[in-house]
Amino acid sequence: MYQLTEEGAKYLKEGLPEKKLIELLRDGAKPMSEIMQLPYAKIAISWAQKSEWVKIENGSMLLTENGRAAIGTTTDTEKTLQEINNTKLPSNYEIAKVLNSRNIIENVKAGGNITTEVVQKKGWLERLGLRKPKVIELSTEKSEVDIVQPVPTGQIAQLTSDMIIYGKWKGQKFRKYDVNTPVPKVFAAKKQPYMQFIENMRRKLIGLGFQEMKGSYVESSFWNSDALFMPQDHPARSIHDAFYLKHPKSGSLPDENVVAKVKATQEGGWITGSTGWGGEWSKEEAAKLMLRSQTTCLSARKLVEHGDKPGMFFSIDKVFRYDVIDATHLVEFDQCEGIIIGENLTFRHLLGVLKRFADMVGAEDVRYKPGYFPYTEPSCELFMKFPKLGWVEVGGAGMFRPEVLRPLGIEKSNVLAWGLGLGRLAMMKLGIHDIRQLYSDDIDFLRNTPVVRD
């Protein structure tokens, strides 16, 4: 048998916290900062979410369809609360157990001939009678009778620190632990999904033997474009595709020997077997400062530094481009750049590397499409098929051209190179369909995105 606690009597009179919450949201969403000011906020939110009455979007709480349907109706929980207030006996014992766990109701010793055990069985209300309880002989047939033993009065339901410190737990009787008792959800701390993906990708590449390259967001046009055999009148170097600095407008160029070789290659091909781009190459144009539009500038610097010997290098860092923001494009995004230096390397090796990246993010459908980049030949673009977006290009790759390698001091080795959009790789791995969601403050996305372990 049960009776209402003081809290239960208050809820019966004023309404359950979760019902008061959805009544508050009847006219529209409310900011979470306002919701958290309510005296019953934590309890109301917990049970409203369990009932799937509310959801949180963009820092505000709003009703779901289930929540709107629950307004103005008497729920089974409220009916059970009323029954216990009237008769001490519930029609739904499972709901009564939940109310008991919430300390809205409590067990009481039955008077007269009523046993302290409650029997839940098909037709048990008719057997007991709501108004004239009587003794029931318990059946031994387990298939028909489910005996539920509520916690007798005098037992302790929660162990406190004081009980442990002062030994008050000794000699006490404790309530049996019920694994079916509903409890509030606990959202353990974890890393932001995209940041975790970046860390995992970095760890995998280092584990494969790559060394990481680092550099500044601000780069000279020389390293971002000229050293990569990109002509100075290339459309990608215009103000419409790159961000140039106003103050300071220009920076310094590297060693004069490297600059002279790049100039000769741009204008006439130098000793590369190329005819170059012709015209007159401008030091002033090459010295302009910009927000780097690709991390390939780090690869160019690394080739000069490392020299003509085997090596594997990567970078995971930000680049900046004047793009229209949509489901697959951002103005500021992360790029996974990489190069492998060595003799006898072929385009087939490069395709194998790209396939390894596809496997890392779980891409099942992959295509390689011939592409054009001023600094690689042959070149290709890597496409992956997304469930909702279809085929999406996730990056480009190729073999560095002699026009790039010779001026930077690489004469006998071949160099495999790639630049992949890390955000698009993360979209595939995390199963999302909009790159902007990687930076979202949507609490449901942050809480429900599984921890990436591989």
DSSP 87-137: HS--S-HHHHHHHHHTTSEEE-PPPTT--SSEEEETTHHHHH-SSS----P
Q: Which band of pLDDT confidence, cut at 50, 70 and 90, is reported for residue 117?
A: very low
pLDDT over 90 (residue 219): yes
Same domain, 284 and 408: yes
Q: Residue 127: is its pLDDT beyond 90? A: no
Residue 123 has pLDDT above 50, yes or no: no
User: Does residue 328 share a domain with residue 427?
Assistant: yes
The answer on 68 and 216 residing in a single domain is: no
Residue with tokens 């970095």: 202
| 143 and 207 inside one domain | no
Give yes or no: residues 121 and 220 share one domain: no
- Angle CA(296)–CA(298)–CA(303) in degrees, nearest 5? 100
pLDDT of amino acid 27: 87
**pLDDT 10s digits, 269-306:** 999 999 999 999 999 999 999 999 999 999 999 999 99
Across-strand partners of 2? Answer: 107
Binned at pLDDT 50, 70 and 90, residue 337 comes out as: very high
3-class DSSP assignment, residue 423: helix
Does 181 map to a domain?
A: no
Look at 109-123, 145-159, 186-200, 364-378 and tell me which has the smallest mean pLDDT: 109-123
Express each pLDDT in 384-413 by its tens digit.
999 999 999 999 999 999 999 999 999 999
Residues 161 and 287 in one domain: no
CATH code of the domain in which 376 resides: 3.30.930.10
**Domain stop point among 102, 131, 166:** 166
- Phi, psi of 257, deg, nearest 5: -65, -45
* Segment 87-101 mean pLDDT: 83
The pLDDT of residue 454 is 64
- Residue 23, pLDDT > 80, answer yes
Highest mean pLDDT among 28-32, 50-54, 300-304: 300-304
The percentage of the chain sitting over the pLDDT mark of 70, rounded to a whole number, equals 88
More confident residue, 53 or 91: 53
Q: What is the DSSP letter of 331?
A: S
pLDDT at 120: 41
Please state, for a pLDDT cut of 90, what percent of the chain lies above it. 50
Which of 131, 166, 201 is the last residue in one of the domains?
166
Residue 254 and residue 218 in one domain: yes
9 and 91, same domain (yes or no): yes
Q: Is the pLDDT of residue 141 over 50?
A: no
- pLDDT on residue 154: 66
User: Is residue 254 one of the residues assigned to a domain?
Assistant: yes
**Residue 126 pLDDT exceeds 50:** no
Report residue 239: phi and psi, to 5°.
-65, -20
Q: Which of 347, 123, 332 is nearest to 217 (CA)?
A: 332
On whether residue 188 sits in a domain, the answer given is no
Q: Is residue 175 part of a domain?
A: no
Residue 338 in tokens = 């990489």
Q: Which of 149, 166, 183 is the last residue of a domain?
A: 166
- Is 209 domain-assigned? yes
158 plus 270 within the same structural domain = no
The average confidence (pLDDT) of the chain is 85
Total domains in the chain come to 2
Same domain assignment for residues 203 and 123 = no
User: Can you tell me the mean pLDDT for 90-112?
Assistant: 78
| Pair (324, 233) in one structural domain | yes
Residue 68 counted as domain residue: yes
Classify residue 144: in a domain, yes or no: yes
Domain holding 151, by residue range, is 2-166
Q: Is residue 173 part of a domain?
A: no
CA distance 275 to 167: 90
Per-residue DSSP letter, 363: -
- Whether residues 279 and 360 share a domain: the answer is yes
